[in-house]
Amino acid sequence: MLKTMGDDRFLRLLWMVLAVLISRAGWCMLPGAEAWKTTDLDSAFSKTFISNEKCNSSEFYGLACHQALQATAKLLHLPPPTDAGESVDFERKFQQQAETLPPDIPAQMFWGVGLNALLMAFDAHAYLRPALDPVVGDIREYVGIGATMVMGRRGFFVSEIFPGSPAAASGLSYGDLITTITRDDHTTQILAGHSQDEVSEWFHGPRGTRLTLSLNRLDGSTTELKIPRQPLKISSLDFFAFPRDPDFGYIRLRQFIGGQACGGVRMALDILQRAGVRFFILDLRGNPGGTKQEALCINGLFLGPRREQIASVTIPVVIPNAALVHVFDSTPGLRWQRGYALNPETLPLVVLMDEHSASSSEIVAGVLQYFHSAWVVGRTSFGKGTEQTTDAMEGHNSLILSATSALFFFPNLKSNQRVGITPSFPLPLARGIADADLIMDREPQVHPNSLPAFNEPWEDDRQEEIAKIRACIERDKLEEYFLKRLDIANGDLPWAYGAAVLKCAEAIEKTP
């Protein structure tokens, strides 16, 4: 059963995790001040949801309003409010904060941050944003070194290196532990004790300036690398055949942009096949998802027409004011969603994923794994099994609201909600780094009040074949072979292992 607002256990959980939500919630990444200025959001509108009458109407609503106060205090760099409970004058407290707004924070942004914090208490994935907020495009540009990190219990590990970037040219490797960063002004930052957002910000800076990274390498050695910052263009889709082994093709999809992701993958498959590629690696690591339709379309490229792929269940939207959203069907009912393709491919395929692969990425990987159309290699995915519906607010077309409207289930009638997709071949980030070394920010950690898990994790049902492939890789040392043979970027272990899986799977299939 879904949790209701009156569930005492849920109330206690919400209160315990307020600090976690404030530090990780989506409103920290909301649109900028200029976008908020285009909206009609003001204190009068906000009182529809944040008023003394509503905030003191129940313990749950009071905690949600207190969470909103914490978020606006964080935005304004004010001390967090300490009192919570019944009969708090929330209107006065918000007004006191609003009177301290600096010039660079418009009132619309202030109220938007507060409302989003409140909404998140009712629906972990609900948010409000300006209708004119620009959507992330096909190419993102920034100045940096071309690497990303994951937070570990001993520091920050390098988790991705963009091909052709200054980080790749410098010799930075997957799994390197960054201990300190020294900037051009000779200030040195020790990474321990800082958040991932803070550390990521230090990588950015003026073009041509340099960073010095102190590293602990996986072989136990230490080194320093001087890496220049350069303008980088990060495309949502990259693909190529390996120059040293054109049998292998690689497709990297970083996000599901509406109307573009599936078409891009289809184009990449066509070009790579024309170039003679036989084995394909679809990399969905770090892909946070996007539209379900794009995921179904990509599945259709490999599965064929009219194959049942995922099911969804409509659920009640528990938000404090029903006028906020569409009126969804509140009676749960299973209905199948289908994907279509005119010319389905039956290609040897590996899908790479990690703990940041979410939502639509999980649909693609889980469905292809279920139908035995791909091997999934990497780490257990994020665990977001819910779907959100987005629309303009009635009477306020300058604002868009997204709210949870459905759950999706796989053909085995299991959900990935909170449990994620278990890889066919689980692998660490790099040799010598266990999952226990990393801080896994998956759905239960990032959104503690999200819908519960509906089932235990499940495994790929081809365990006998998986054991044979593992034995083949170990016997022929293919993991190491492909790291060298394909000249894979700076020691990307899952990438190399995925190539080895494809090679051994073909050999086993041909064995009488």
Q: Which two tokens stand for residue 127?
A: 């948010």
Q: Is residue 395 part of a domain?
A: yes
Cα angle 291, 294, 300; round to 5 = 145
Measured between alpha carbons, how far is 125 from 318 in angstroms, rounded to an integer? 12
Tell me, yes or no, whether 325 and 250 share the same domain: yes
Same domain for 258 and 191?
Answer: no
- Which domain CATH number covers 165? 2.30.42.10
Give the Cα separation of 129 and 133 in Å (integer): 7
Q: Please indicate, yes or no, whether residues 421 and 500 belong to a single structural domain of this protein.
A: yes
Q: Which residue has the higher pLDDT, 163 or 464?
A: 464
Only one residue has tokens 């959507």, namely 135
Residue 5: band (very low, low, confident or very high) from pLDDT cuts 50, 70, 90: very low
The reply to whether 133 falls in a domain is: no
Is there a domain that residue 449 lies in? yes
**Is 171 among the domain residues?**
yes
Q: How many domains does the chain have?
A: 3
pLDDT in tens, 277-319: 999 999 999 999 988 888 888 888 888 654 556 666 655 444 4
Does residue 373 belong to any structural domain of this protein? yes
Lookup result for tokens 């995922």: 310
Verify that 258 and 210 share a domain, yes or no.
no
Query: Are 24 and 88 within one domain?
Result: yes
Q: Are residues 331 and 426 in the same domain?
A: yes
Q: Please give the structure tokens belonging to residue 341.
A: 């393709």
Strands 349-353 and 375-378, bridge-based pairing: parallel
* pLDDT of 88 strictly over 70: yes
Among candidate residues 197, 231, 265, the one where a domain is terminated:
231
All residues at 6 or more sequence positions from 36 whose CB lies less than 8 Å from its CB, including other chains: 30, 106, 108, 109, 112, 130
Residues 222 and 325 in one domain: no
Asked whether the predicted pLDDT for residue 87 surpasses 80, the reply is no
Greater confidence (362 vs 204) lies with 362
Question: Does residue 252 sit in the same domain as residue 227?
Answer: no
Regarding whether 246 and 206 lie in a shared domain, the answer is: no
Share of the chain above pLDDT 70, in %: 82
Confidence band of 104 (pLDDT split at 50, 70, 90)? very high
**Band (265; pLDDT cuts 50, 70, 90):** very high
Token digits for 116? 């989003």
Beta bridge partners of 462: none
Q: Are residues 283 and 189 in the same domain?
A: no
CA-CA distances (angstroms) from residue 85 to 58, 59, 80?
Answer: 9, 7, 15
Strands 279-283 and 245-253 come out as parallel
pLDDT at 99: 94
Highest mean pLDDT out of 20-29, 109-118, 196-205: 109-118
Which of 122, 148, 173 is at the close of a domain? 122
Residues 209 and 267 in one domain: no
* Statement: residue 473 has pLDDT above 90: yes
Give SS3 for 477.
coil
Over residues 387-394, mean pLDDT? 83
CA atoms within a 13 Å half-sphere pointing along the CA-CB vector of 56: 9
277 and 153 in one domain?
no
Domain boundary among 209, 231, 253: 231
445-459 pLDDT tens trace: 999 989 889 899 999
State residue 24 phi and psi, 5-degree precision: -115, -5
Q: CB–CB of 39/397 below 8 Å?
A: no
Question: What pLDDT was estimated at residue 308?
Answer: 55
The predicted-structure confidence for 332-359, as pLDDT tens digits, reads as follows 555 666 655 545 667 899 999 999 999 9
Residue 241 lies in a domain: yes
Tell me, yes or no, whether 1 lies in a domain.
no
User: Is the Cα dihedral 336, 339, 342, 348 positive or negative?
Assistant: negative
Range 404-431 average pLDDT: 91
The strand pairing partners of 407, in sequence order, are 313, 386
Q: Is 45 among the domain residues? A: yes
CATH number, position 355: 3.90.226.10
Per the structure, the complete domain to which residue 86 belongs is given by 8-122
Indicate whether 399 pLDDT > 70: yes
